[in-house]
Amino acid sequence: MTSDTHAPCRKPGSTDTPGIPAQNKGPAARPSAQPSSHPSHLSPHGLTRFNAASAAEAETLLLSCCHSPRWAERVAAHRPYPTVDALLAAADEAGYDLSRADLDEALAAESSAPPHPDAPPAARTALRAAHAAYESSFGHAFVISLEGVRPGERLDQVLAGIRSRLGNEPEEERVIAADELRRLARARLAFRLSEGLTLRHSEA
């Protein structure tokens, strides 16, 4: 986990549309959210506060989106951003450049999102078993983007995704997980900008 080789995060044919994040269990973590992250829906006030925040405040907020200190430092260091689009593009680019160690650290902070409380018991059991099988195979939580998936179809989409990706070789799955994590980091950051951007100092 100490290699500095960059993970090949760009996936051919992938889009940059973020989706529903799993839980991030690192410092300043937030529960699972279902953000609408299209930049046109965001107020500029969150960006203004982000640009004006101290380095510690900005990095703490960024770590709640992706628990890679190097990623957070890089995105925070390039402030001020002229637009939300520019900030999200910078977050994407920093996500592409995560080293193997950075990616391992970020994935270790993730935890699998639970099913909706209204899901039937059999579905909840199946999801727990699928998550356990995935984590046993790859050593980290399953992450996936669910943008555009209807709420009633998300459970089936997650189960299908886990079952499909369980057949991957470790390095193949690393590429996919890195891309999904990048999209989730973008979604979380966009959501934080839209919800009022409560900044706080890191306690680390």
Predicted confidence (pLDDT) at residue 43 exceeds the cutoff of 80 = no
Q: What is the mean pLDDT of residues 141-154?
A: 84
pLDDT of amino acid 57: 95
pLDDT of amino acid 4: 34
Higher pLDDT pick, 153 / 40: 153
pLDDT of amino acid 196: 61
pLDDT of amino acid 200: 52
CATH topology of domain 17-204: UraD-like (1.10.3330)
Higher pLDDT pick, 199 / 140: 140
End-to-end CA distance of the chain: 22
Which single residue is written with the structure tokens 């999801």? 127
Output the CA torsion sign for 37, 22, 135, 99: positive
In total, the chain counts a number of residues equal to 204
For the chain, give the mean pLDDT: 79
Indicate the pLDDT class of residue 8, thresholds 50, 70 and 90. very low
d(Cα 195, Cα 199) in Å, to the nearest integer?
Answer: 11
Is-contact 24 67, C-beta < 8 A?
Answer: yes
Amino acid at 107: L
Task: Convert 44-67 into a string of H (helix), E (strand) and C (coil).
Answer: HHHHHHHHHCCHHHHHHHHHCCCC
Each residue of 75-134: pLDDT tens digit?
A: 999 999 999 999 999 999 999 999 999 999 999 999 987 887 888 999 999 999 999 999
Indicate the pLDDT class of residue 3, thresholds 50, 70 and 90. very low
pLDDT of amino acid 47: 93
User: Which percentage of the chain shows pLDDT scores above 90?
Assistant: 58
Q: Using DSSP, how many helices (H) and how many strands (E) does the chain show?
A: 8, 2
pLDDT of amino acid 199: 59
Indicate the pLDDT class of residue 37, thresholds 50, 70 and 90. very low
- 196 sits in the region (left: phi over 0; alpha: psi -120 to 50; else beta) called left
Which of 142-151, 154-163, 194-203 comes out lowest in average pLDDT?
Answer: 194-203
pLDDT of amino acid 198: 55
**Cα-based distances in Å from 36 to 19, 39, 49, 186:** 8, 9, 20, 11
**Cα-based distances in Å from 134 to 10, 115, 192:** 22, 16, 29
Predicted confidence (pLDDT) at residue 6 exceeds the cutoff of 90 = no
Q: Which two tokens stand for residue 65?
A: 């989106």
H helix intervals, 109-153: 121-138
